[in-house]
A and B are shown apart, each in its own frame.
Chain A
Amino acid sequence: MNKDYEKIAYEIIKLRLSQIIINEEYKLGKFKVPIHLALGHESIAVAINNIMQKNDKLILSHRNMEYNLARLGALKPILDEYLLKSTGLMQGKFGSMNLINPNCGVVYTSSILGNNFSVGAGIAMAQKISQNEGLTIILGGDGAIEEGSFHEVLLMLKSLELSAFVIIENNNFSLGTKINERRCPINLEKFSESYAIKFMRLSNNDPIEYIKKLNELREYSIKNKTPVCIEVMVTTFGDWVMNTSEQPNGKIITYHSGPTPSISLDNNILLKDTLEDPIFVLRKYVDKKTLKEMSKTIEVKLLNELK
């Protein structure tokens, strides 16, 4: 088996299991801070982690767990941070929605929608002045692009000739509404084109393909001193049914924050038998038996880490 594929599969499974373990703790009511799980976002997080180089900087939003876990490669310091312990990744001073890890390049994280775009632009400017050839990677969601700062920052990044990725994780949800329930569609490709910014859409959760494409775009962005806009199609797993008088049959909501009752460590880590689930996609590269064994090994390791 290709060792690179195995390594990537290991990282994705570890990320999935780490989140499921956090969810178990969450269900027990152990956290005072609001936490946003990102089950289903594993492929892009692992891909970003793998393309990041020494001087690259990552600027995240409130749903940052997947990137922080991927960058750190360990669960306990993050879990302790969520528990506001002094043994936490940032000594319990940042909690979840603002969790940073400067040693691993996670330099800023914002719980305010669209706030991190411009901070990212400033960091990209600092990279340019420092001449360190680093890439600034700014994450947002399909809700954040409704903020004016998204437009302002694409304009600034392009005008100031800054190397950056603006990555939009499109999970078709913002709080409790789907895109079509709150706004007209936004064609990010055309939007980017209007600023002469290169655009790419990533879908189907193939981590190997994501890494290849992101590496190419990284080189392009640095060489041409220009931002790149990337839309990543993701499914956030763990929905729940909301019953209201307007919708007596219930409305399926992709949860925003809080534990997801429908996902458990006792069940299979595969959440959907389609390309929407990064675990399912791994079968393209690693056989089922190996994935199962890998999953068991990682689960034992993670649980031991927490003892």
Chain B
Amino acid sequence: MKYIEYINKLIQEEVLKQKNLIVYGQNIAAGSCLGGLTKNLQVKENGKIINSTNSENSLCGFGFGMMIGGIPSIFFMKQLDFLLLGIDHLTNTYNIIRNSEYATKSSFTIMPITVDKGYEGPQSSLNNFGDFCSISRTTGYTITNKMDAEKIIQNKLVSPGFRIITVSQRLFKEELIEPDNLLYTNNDLTVFQYDDGEMVTIVCFNFSFPQGYGLSKDLKKNKIHSSLFNVNSPVETNWSKIIESVLKTKKLIVIDDSKSKNLACDSLISKITNQCKLNKIIILKREISAEWLNPNSDEMIIDYKKIISQLS
């Protein structure tokens, strides 16, 4: 099954459970339905599906307004870039909400698609999900595989409070990654652990889980057993399980495919280097080339062989 098909299936199931739910966004029930993300949605009694106007700023405020009025809603957004227009609401409006009785009165979720598939040109290639969450310390989730998709959509898509959940357009038509095990998640579903090797700890940020998962498999083939974590929320969270693992392995690989200057992974690296004596640390970040603003594949390529040789 493809990544987007599975996510769409989970969304369909959740949306159908909720009474009074307003599901809205531009062309969510028309055309490609946001590349399949919002295909075939049906809502329960008194709910509504709205093909909205093209007013991203106001559509963010609209969701918070419904939250104040006690009505749950989901705003599906075609591109993460469009959420730039709603930054005022993500900060100023949300601050009012969480400073009041409205904080848990209802549910509001914004679900943008991170346009990271490349070749968009100078615009529409912003993949820095962490920045949107960081600016007002908002809880946000990336969805990268079958297991985090299930946990996050089933528990967070409609749930008291506000959050942003994003999916990767690069992964839409890829086969869904189905890890063999889910060994651990923390209570707020911000850290997931998929493997528990004793030789190196791999931690993935933003949408770098496919790279981390591939690296973990390649390392295993070379008899290097890794602990594999994905940090699904870019805002600092409970990293105790990751630190516990690093204390054991003393080797850390951090992967972050976000193009921001300030990265979510920097907080973790800072914390770990303060608390653990490391024998090896490999930090894999985006290298911004001269062609950065030109249409390009925009893909984070990792030289697995080089890393294996560094660890052998």
User: B57 contacts which chain A residues (CB < 8 A)?
Assistant: 118, 148-149, 152
Say if the beta carbon of B92 comes within 8 Å of chain A.
yes
The one of A117, A122, A124 that contacts B64, using a Cβ cutoff of 8 Å: A122
Q: How far is the CA of A125 from the CA of B73 in the complex (A)?
A: 11
Known A110-B92, A110-B96, A117-B58; contact A122-B68, beta-carbon cutoff 8 A: yes
User: B89 contacts which chain A residues (CB < 8 A)?
Assistant: 115, 118-119
Known A112-B88, A155-B53, A156-B58; contact A118-B100, beta-carbon cutoff 8 A: no
Q: Is the CB of A126 within 8 A of B69?
A: yes
Q: Is the CB of B71 within 8 A of A102?
A: no
Q: Which label, helix, strand, loop or mixed, suits the secondary structure of the A interface?
A: helix
The one of A90, A112, A124 that contacts B65, using a Cβ cutoff of 8 Å: A124
Q: Considering the complex, which residues of chain B in the window 60-112 have a beta carbon less than 8 Å from any beta carbon of chain A?
A: 60-71, 73, 88-89, 92-93, 96, 99-101
The one of A120, A122, A149, A155 that contacts B67, using a Cβ cutoff of 8 Å: A122
Say if the beta carbon of A173 comes within 8 Å of chain B.
no
Among listed A70-78, A92-100, A251-259, A270-278, interface-contacting one? A92-100
Q: Considering the complex, which residues of chain A in the window 64-104 have a beta carbon less than 8 Å from any beta carbon of chain B?
A: 90, 93-94, 98, 100, 102
Say if the beta carbon of A168 comes within 8 Å of chain B.
no
User: B157 contacts which chain A residues (CB < 8 A)?
Assistant: none
Chain B's interface size range is: 20 to 34
Q: Considering the complex, which residues of chain A in the window 150-202 have a beta carbon less than 8 Å from any beta carbon of chain B?
A: 152-153, 155-156, 159-160
Say if the beta carbon of B248 comes within 8 Å of chain A.
no
Q: Closest approach, in angstroms, between the C-beta of A301 and any C-beta of chain B?
A: 31
Q: How far is the CA of A111 from the CA of B55 in the complex (A)?
A: 21
Say if the beta carbon of B20 comes within 8 Å of chain A.
yes
User: A125 contacts which chain B residues (CB < 8 A)?
Assistant: 22, 62, 65-66, 69, 71
Q: Is the CB of B68 within 8 A of A108?
A: yes
Q: Considering the complex, which residues of chain A in the window 115-143 have a beta carbon less than 8 Å from any beta carbon of chain B?
A: 115-127, 129-130
Q: How far is the CA of A152 from the CA of B61 in the complex (A)?
A: 11
Q: Closest approach, in angstroms, between the C-beta of A127 and any C-beta of chain B?
A: 6
Q: Is the CB of A121 within 8 A of B65?
A: yes
Q: Is the CB of A156 within 8 A of B55?
A: yes
Q: Is the CB of A126 within 8 A of B55?
A: no
Q: How far is the CA of A268 from the CA of B71 in the complex (A)?
A: 48
Q: How far is the CA of A90 from the CA of B52 in the complex (A)?
A: 35
Q: Chain A: which residue is nearest B99 at the CB level?
A: A93
Say if the beta carbon of A107 comes within 8 Å of chain B.
yes
User: A155 contacts which chain B residues (CB < 8 A)?
Assistant: 53, 55
Say if the beta carbon of B59 comes within 8 Å of chain A.
yes
Q: Chain A: which residue is nearest B63 at the CB level?
A: A122
The one of A102, A109, A112, A122 that contacts B62, using a Cβ cutoff of 8 Å: A122
Q: Is the CB of A119 within 8 A of B55?
A: no
Q: How far is the CA of A153 from the CA of B58 in the complex (A)?
A: 7
User: A156 contacts which chain B residues (CB < 8 A)?
Assistant: 52-53, 55, 58, 62
Say if the beta carbon of B276 comes within 8 Å of chain A.
no
User: A110 contacts which chain B residues (CB < 8 A)?
Assistant: 92-93, 96
Q: Is the CB of A118 within 8 A of B60?
A: yes
Q: Chain B: which residue is nearest A116 at the CB level?
A: B61
User: A121 contacts which chain B residues (CB < 8 A)?
Assistant: 58, 61-62, 65
Known A94-B99, A156-B58; contact A123-B20, beta-carbon cutoff 8 A: no
Q: How far is the CA of A93 from the CA of B73 in the complex (A)?
A: 27
User: A120 contacts which chain B residues (CB < 8 A)?
Assistant: 65
Q: How far is the CA of A123 from the CA of B64 in the complex (A)?
A: 8
Q: Is the CB of A130 within 8 A of B70?
A: yes
Q: Chain B: which residue is nearest A134 at the CB level?
A: B69
Q: Chain B: which residue is nearest A108 at the CB level?
A: B68
Q: How far is the CA of A120 from the CA of B65 in the complex (A)?
A: 6
The one of A115, A117, A127, A129 that contacts B48, using a Cβ cutoff of 8 Å: A129
Q: Is the CB of A159 within 8 A of B53?
A: yes
Q: How far is the CA of A132 from the CA of B99 in the complex (A)?
A: 26
Q: Is the CB of B70 within 8 A of A126?
A: yes
User: A57 contacts which chain B residues (CB < 8 A)?
Assistant: 69
Say if the beta carbon of B283 comes within 8 Å of chain A.
no
Q: How far is the CA of A123 from the CA of B71 in the complex (A)?
A: 9
Say if the beta carbon of B289 comes within 8 Å of chain A.
no
The one of B69, B73, B93, B101 that contacts A130, using a Cβ cutoff of 8 Å: B69
Q: Closest approach, in angstroms, between the C-beta of A229 and any C-beta of chain B?
A: 16
Sample (22) of A-B pairs whose CB atoms are under 8 Å apart: A57-B69, A94-B100, A100-B96, A107-B68, A110-B96, A112-B92, A115-B61, A115-B88, A118-B61, A118-B62, A119-B65, A119-B93, A121-B58, A121-B61, A121-B62, A123-B65, A124-B65, A125-B66, A126-B65, A153-B58, A156-B58, A160-B50
Chain A contacts to B: CB under 8 angstroms:
57, 90, 93-94, 98, 100, 102, 107-112, 115-127, 129-130, 148-149, 152-153, 155-156, 159-160
